[in-house]
Structure 1
Amino acid sequence: MARVRDVAIDEVPTDVRPVYQRFADEYGPFLNQVKIFAHRPIALRHIMGMLLEMADNPILDKRHLEIAIVTVSAINRCDYCVAHHGPRLLDFGLSREVVDRILDEDCPGLDRLDRLVRDYAAQVTRDHNRVRDSQFDALRAHFTETQIVELTLRITLCTFFNKFNDVMMLEMEDEAAVFHQGAGNPAAGGANEPSDRG
């Protein structure tokens, strides 16, 4: 159970309801997240609305986007986000082992470009002040500047979601919980749950 109550769709202003409904229906099993964001309709409208708009107008390969998100979420030990985004890596043909070992330097199943994205996401998350020009140059060999901006935006936004979800103690939706129960990933094991919960 989350630390604050769920807000139902009929409690939000009518102009925000389409974003609430569409995010709940189309973005993935994130209903519990939407119910918490709905406490602040402005945030729901703009943050979830931005994610929906980016999904409608993709400029990044979704495989690379999900590799970045799972990497960041594993570093931040956000069970909720790994459980929601890990299955998307499976949809792109990667194995459960990739999800579980995404932070391993020699993670099997990742090609050179996958590792470049993974390593950039890890560097930005662990020590953003030490992203080197050489790493940026390597990205430029494969991505446009606009793509690099979006990749960086999504990496840093992911840390926001990781922290928000964990602090609010969002309950996993059933679909994500099934994936999480089979986890051997770095985020598994309840490491992000405070011992004084309850």
Structure 2
Amino acid sequence: MTEQPISRFPPPELADLPQDIRERIAAVQEKSGFVPNVFLALARRPDEFRAFFAYHDALMEKPGTLSKAEREMIVVATSGVNQCQYCVVAHGAILRIRAKNPLIADQVAINHRKADLEPRQKAMLDFAVKVAERSHAIDDADYEELKSHGFSDDDAWDIAAIAAMFAMSNRLANAFSIRPNDEFYLMGRESRS
């Protein structure tokens, strides 16, 4: 395997970054065993890095009705629609781990309607994909459909906000050619001995 650049723009040197960003990157590296390329790529702009990850954490790490696996499903489904290789690969790995299912991320990324999901999760992803593709067409019927599957108004907000936030993330990752770390491809998959 050849060494490829992680992004269109060279990442900054870790030693040159503000301490809070160095600490955040070190914490992620300690937890995962590597530094996801998106952290290095976005660290070029410290204020934007902080804002991006603050909103990410507010949506993805908060308590609520949506499980962490369901939040990752939203990211993977909408990132597939937006053709974002980085987010499909990286968040697909996280989804496989959180769902404890080595097949689910590939299914959701390609076509969530044919994935092995509950009807409730398919309705959630139908709404998320509509936000990603045609947010201007969201109407009361979309919210009623979510309610019929047991989703609250707060859940609907979370689904829409995650889809919208990752639409921005997908566009940045695509525009900056952020490459998924090789480590992501094998995470959460069954090993073959």
Same fold (TM over 0.5): yes
Q: Does 1:169 align with 2:177?
A: yes
Task: Provide the rounded CA distance (Å) in 2 between the counterparts of 1:144 and 1:84.
Answer: 28
Q: In structure 1, which of residues 76, 82, 86 is the aligned counterpart of residue 88 of structure 2? A: 82
Task: Provide the rounded CA distance (Å) in 2 between the counterparts of 1:45 and 1:105.
Answer: 32
Provide closer, same or farther for how the CA distance between residues 31 and 97 of structure 1 changes in structure 2, counting only shifts above 3 A.
Answer: closer
Map 1:25-174; keep pairs closer than 5 Å. Answer: 25-26=30-31, 31-59=36-64, 60-91=66-97, 92-96=99-103, 99-100=106-107, 102-104=109-111, 106-141=113-148, 142-174=150-182
Equivalent position amino acid for 1:152 in 2? A
Equivalent position amino acid for 1:160 in 2? M
Stretches of structure 2 that go unaligned for 5 or more consecutive residues are 188-193
Stretches of structure 1 that go unaligned for 5 or more consecutive residues are 180-198
Provide closer, same or farther for how the CA distance between residues 80 and 140 of structure 1 changes in structure 2, counting only shifts above 3 A.
Answer: same
Measured after TM superposition, the shift of residue 148 of structure 1 is 2.1
Structure 1 residue matching 2:10: 3-state secondary structure: coil
| 8 A contact 1:72–1:121 mirrored in 2 | yes
Superposed CA deviations along residues 133-161 of structure 1, whole A, max 9, x for unmatched, are 11112223423322322221111111111
Measured after TM superposition, the shift of residue 52 of structure 1 is 3.4
More helix by share: 2
Equivalent position amino acid for 1:126 in 2? E
Task: Provide the rounded CA distance (Å) in 2 between the counterparts of 1:26 and 1:149.
Answer: 29
Provide closer, same or farther for how the CA distance between residues 78 and 140 of structure 1 changes in structure 2, counting only shifts above 3 A.
Answer: same
Task: Provide the rounded CA distance (Å) in 2 between the counterparts of 1:18 and 1:101.
Answer: 33
Q: In structure 1, which of residues 5, 29, 37 is the aligned counterpart of residue 10 of structure 2? A: 5
Measured after TM superposition, the shift of residue 172 of structure 1 is 1.8
| 8 A contact 2:12–2:43 mirrored in 1 | yes
Identity of aligned residues (%): 19
Superposed CA deviations along residues 68-115 of structure 1, whole A, max 9, x for unmatched, are 111101101111111112233333144526623555374141111110
Superposed CA deviations along residues 35-77 of structure 1, whole A, max 9, x for unmatched, are 1111111111221133335554332212221111111011011
